[in-house]
């Protein structure tokens, strides 16, 4: 009888991170690293459910916008967030706020 390898949440995070960074399907990633696809699926679900998922920095991309002259806005800024949420503000919020809000929405509304 084969003894199954016990994995920690840290191992699960590595599996999830490796799969996300690979860009492969779950099946192809599992085959490439020598584990079953059920192990990949289990850890994706478990790590996300635990909220223990560390954000993958490459998933968030920002482009610096340099304002050459002051623009008078007559309409509010509208940010469309994961889960279908829309945030309307009179001014653009700081980038860090937008990043944190986006990550929170992704955790809240992930499948």
The structural domains of the chain, with segments of one domain joined by +, span 9-50, 76-111
Q: How far is residue 19's CA from residue 26's CA, in Å, rounded to a whole number?
A: 7
- CA angle, corner 46, sides to 3 and 53, nearest 5? 120
Q: How far is residue 27's CA from residue 45's CA, in Å, rounded to a whole number?
A: 15
Beta pairing partners, 78? 88
Task: Count CB neighbours of 15 within 10 A.
Answer: 23
Q: What is the pLDDT along the chain (111 residues), one digit of tens a residue?
A: 455 678 888 888 888 888 888 888 889 999 999 998 999 888 888 888 877 445 555 555 666 777 677 666 667 777 776 667 777 887 777 778 777 877 777 776 654
Look at residues 81, 107, 77, 70 and name the one whose alpha carbon lies nearest to residue 93: 77
- Tell me the whole-structure pTM to 2 decimals: 0.43
């Amino acid at each position: 009888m084969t003894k199954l390898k016990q994995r920690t949440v840290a191992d699960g995070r590595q599996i999830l991170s490796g799969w996300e960074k690979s860009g492969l399907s779950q099946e192809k990633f599992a085959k490439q690293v020598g584990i079953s696809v059920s192990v990949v699926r289990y850890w994706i679900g478990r790590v996300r459910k635990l909220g223990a998922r560390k954000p993958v920095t490459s998933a968030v991309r920002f482009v610096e916008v340099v304002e050459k002259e002051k623009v008078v806005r007559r309409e509010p800024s509208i940010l469309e967030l994961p889960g279908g949420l829309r945030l309307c503000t009179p001014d653009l919020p700081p980038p860090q706020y937008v990043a944190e809000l986006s990550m929170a929405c992704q955790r809240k509304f992930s499948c």
